[in-house]
Structure 1
Amino acid sequence: MLRAPGLIFATLILLACNAGPSTSEFSESQAQSGPESSDLVTSPISSTEEEVENRLANIGEEFSANPELQSAVLSGPEDHLSDEKSGERFTRPPAVKGLYVNAWAAGSRTRMDALVDIAQRTEVNAFVIDIKDASGYVSHSTEVEFAHEVSATEEIRIRDLSGLLMRLEQEQIYPIARIVIVKDPIVAVSRPDLAVQDSAGGVWIDSKGIVWLNPYKREVWDYHVDLAREVAQMGFPEIQWDYVRFPDAPEQERERAVYPGADGLSKTEAIRNFLSYSRVALASVGARVTADVFGLTTSASRDVGIGQLWESFIDVVDAALPMVYPSHYWSGSFGIDTPNAYPYEIVNSALGDALRRSAQVDGAASTIPWLQDFTLGDPPYGSPEVRAQIQAAHDAGINEWVLWNPGSRYTESALEPIGGFREEPLVRVGNTLIPVSRRWELIDTTTVLPDTLDGR
């Protein structure tokens, strides 16, 4: 394949400079960026070892025509994947309590020592590890041919992925492979035919200077499934798709976006078809398939333009992970003027909506929230704010969660130590810091599922 290296390099630099929060800009409602929101915190890139170590993560038609494939994905997640195939090497915890680990941290012995220590001292039992993030680079030395063709292998961040998995196995930490799909400037530049097209000609670029891959393209599907299959065969028992959606942009921008290969399929059908396809493809290597979705999907009654509708995907994955970060909700969400100051109420309300909707879908997967362990606006987030979200999930009936911090630096004091808390933790409820056992004094119980309240 002939490419112009100088042009590609210049384009990637332009894209990196224009990268920003992936918070949606819908005119009527706020959509949340999520694990994909590594863009929320940025830092200069340096070549020194110390700074690289601490660097933040840079941030379907064939299916429709195949009755056998369609039939294979109609079963629910529990029927789809037997216990024997859910990971012979790693046993999935009864309740996943995880931390996001960016590729730079995963490739650093110092950083991994610190993260493993947190898991040894607390309730944490899982790590979500970047295999391909929004930079487009594959984190490890891959044998997937397409990754080499598009030059996605030129920045290896995890030099010994097998060794990392061996260590996690020894430490009994459950590994989950995070793979970003449509936000991939490397593929988009090298293979513009796989990118979203502009009605005026050329590749469509959003107002932030970001180019997006076309979710209708089977070649896009296969590239990422090949990466997932490779790391599953190395030992990852679970694949987590991120940016499994269409671009979020103002409507006037999206009107110019053209999707070759759509052939009449809706966006929600395209996302459902990819998730179904990948789930079947990865069943042969015993990998669970999960998907990160906008937090808004738990409550929005329709697709807001990105192809994510709760009822459309919840029965074709093994778990859905809505990004219910309080800082990403607009004023007025759930009747709250300052959502970021009400972490308990936002998370509890969003997850309550998710569970009620899942109850209406046969074979619905479990819901595992992404929770916020970073500061974006007031108040600054610390132990009370993080613990409030964990408690809110519990009170909604969900005991699983994953914390997101783009730099993979976590508030350990918010996590329950092995053996329990020595002192009762404070939580932020009603924009007030209060001991967790007294949260009911400030909670409007109409926003909480009443049959899950246990006085904890």
Structure 2
Amino acid sequence: MKQITTSILLLLLFSCQSASKIEKRQNSNASGNTPEFIEGLYVNTKTIRDKKRWSLLFQVMKDAGMNTAVVDIQPHPPTPEQVAEAKALGFYMVARVVNFEGGLIEKTPNTNLMASIQKSIRKACELGFPEIQLDYIRYADGGTNFSMSYEKRYESILGIIKDHKEKTKDSCSKDTRWTADVFGRVPFIENDVIGQKVEPFSEELNGLYPMLYPSHFYGLTKRVADPYGTIKDGLDLTVKRAKEGTKAIAWVQGFNMMVGPSKLSYTDYIKVQMQGARDSLGHGFIVWNAGNEYIDTMNAYEKYKSEPTPNNQKVSQNGE
């Protein structure tokens, strides 16, 4: 019955025919404390700009038991009232700040672009977001026309992160948490041309969000077919390689791409990724769906909350 109710609420959400009035409640997370284990969704600009849609989505998430939202800041940040509404429901709020769409193609970024990014970071801090999540904080994956060693690439990207932190001290407190999205392959390999590496990133950041979408492990049949093991292994490796105390939160695939090789239904495909995160050394997961279409995700989340992890031999292809 609960699963049906969730589906109905979400159908109302996406048709925007109804809205739920949220009761204002205080919760320990309103202070900005990071949940011990993050469970949440990505919230896009479309949802931000539709206040009824925003309110209903957060109510559905609250009723289901989620505790975190990663929210777009560019180009239209949420209003102070929207942030206060989510915090009153107890949500830990993470501001997603895009840096270089598609990746940086020059050795150093344009100063005007850097100023624009830092303006968005300041806005997020002024709105009361306790965490700044830097996305696309990397070089382009191919297509660059310059020669640069791995170490110089890491050094350059870290320099950008340090510059962001230094230039936004007027708006962001010393307690602001700084995190970054990293390619899903980064925890699994030693060096990468995009300038992301677990070890140096963890020295400068409080947490890493590897994008462990199984569908994106192109050519690696085992990873594509094993959503549980891919999430679990990716988070385990991130924690083992990172500086002690660094949080590792998985981006989980909430979109229907290359699900077939897993031999799972779409709902179960999402569910076992959540279970992989729970069974790992990591600290949670955020589900990504670019259109914020979360009916299947919420049904998967209910199953995840109520079902034990299946036998690893049936779920994980790698036997770990």
State whether TM-score is above 0.5.
yes
Aligned AA (1:244): I
Correspondence list, 1:204-215, <5 A: 215=108
Residue 384 of structure 1 deviates from its aligned partner by 1.0
Cα deviation code 1:343-376 (max 9, x no counterpart) = 1122122222222212xx4x56211110111111
TM-score (norm 2): 0.78
Q: TM-score, normalised by structure 1?
A: 0.56
CA deviations on 1:235-289 (whole Å, 9 max, x unpaired) are 111111111011113xxx43xx259xx9x98211111112233334456622211
Corresponding residue for 1:439? 311
Distance 2:69 2:200 in 1: 27
Q: Map 1:142-221 to 2 at 5 A.
A: 158=78, 161-183=79-101, 196=105, 215-221=108-114
Q: For residue 393 of structure 1, what is the aligned residue in structure 2? A: 277
Distance 1:347 1:391, change over 3 A: same
Cα 1:447–1:441 shift into 2, 3 Å:
closer
2:117 is matched by which residue type in structure 1? H
Displacement, 1:315? 1.6
Using a 3 Å threshold, how does the CA distance of structure 1 residues 277 and 51 change in structure 2: closer, same or farther?
same
Is the 2:102–2:136 contact (alpha carbons within 8 Å) kept by the matching residues of 1?
A: no
What SS is found at the alignment partner of 1:246?
coil
Aligned residue among 155, 171, 179 for 1:269: 155
CA deviation profile, 1:200-221 (whole Å, cap 9, x unmatched): xxxxxxxxxxxxxx64445433
Number of residues of Structure 1 aligned to a counterpart in Structure 2: 288
Instruction: Determine the C-alpha separation between the residues in 2 that align with 1:51 and 1:444.
Output: 34
Match for residue 231 of structure 1? 124
| AA matched with 1:272 | L
Amino acid at match of 2:63: R
* CA apart distance, 1:292: 0.5
> Is 2:61 the partner of 1:114?
no
Deviation readout 1:403-442 (Å, 9 max, x if unpaired): 1001112221111489x53xx3xxxxxxxxxxx4441343
Contact 2:253–2:270 (8 Å) recurs in 1: yes
1:279 aligns with 2:165: yes
Secondary structure, aligned partner of 1:315:
helix
**CA–CA separation in structure 2 for the residues paired with 1:329 and 1:267:** 23
Q: Residue 308 of structure 1 is aligned with which of 183, 186, 196?
A: 196
What's the offset of the Cα at 1:297? 0.4
| One-letter identity of the residue aligned with 1:340 | V
Larger radius of gyration: 1
2:168 counterpart of 1:295: no
| Contact 2:207–2:247 (CA under 8 A) maintained in structure 1 | yes
Q: Does the residue aligned with 1:396 lie in a helix, a strand or coil?
A: coil
Please tell me whether the aligned partners of residues 319 and 367 of structure 1 are also in contact (alpha carbons under 8 angstroms): yes
- Select the residue among 83, 95, 110 that pairs with 2:37: 95
- Aligned CA distance change for structure 1 residues 437 and 167 (closer, same or farther; 3 Å): closer
After TM superposition, the structure 1 = structure 2 runs for residues 244-255 of structure 1, keeping only pairs within 5 Å, are: 244-249=137-142, 253-254=143-144
Aligned to 1:99, the other structure's residue is in SS state strand
- Please state how far the C-alpha of 1:121 moved relative to its aligned partner: 1.6
**In structure 2, what residue type is equivalent to 1:329?**
F
Looking at structure 2, the residues matched to 238 and 407 of structure 1 have their Cα atoms a distance apart, in angstroms, of 23
C-alpha distance in structure 2 between counterparts of 1:375 and 1:241, whole Å = 25
Cα deviation, residue 446, structure 1: 7.0
Identity of aligned residues (%): 24
Q: Does 1:406 align with 2:290?
A: yes
Deviations, residues 107-164 of structure 1 (Å, cap 9, x unaligned): 21232133112222222111111112xxxxx214xxxxxxxxxxxxxxxxx5xx1121
Q: Does 1:340 align with 2:277?
A: no
**Can you give the 5+ residue segments of structure 2 that lack an aligned partner in the other structure?**
1-12, 17-28
Residue 290 and residue 52 in structure 1: after superposition, are their counterparts in 2 closer, same or farther (change >3 A)? farther
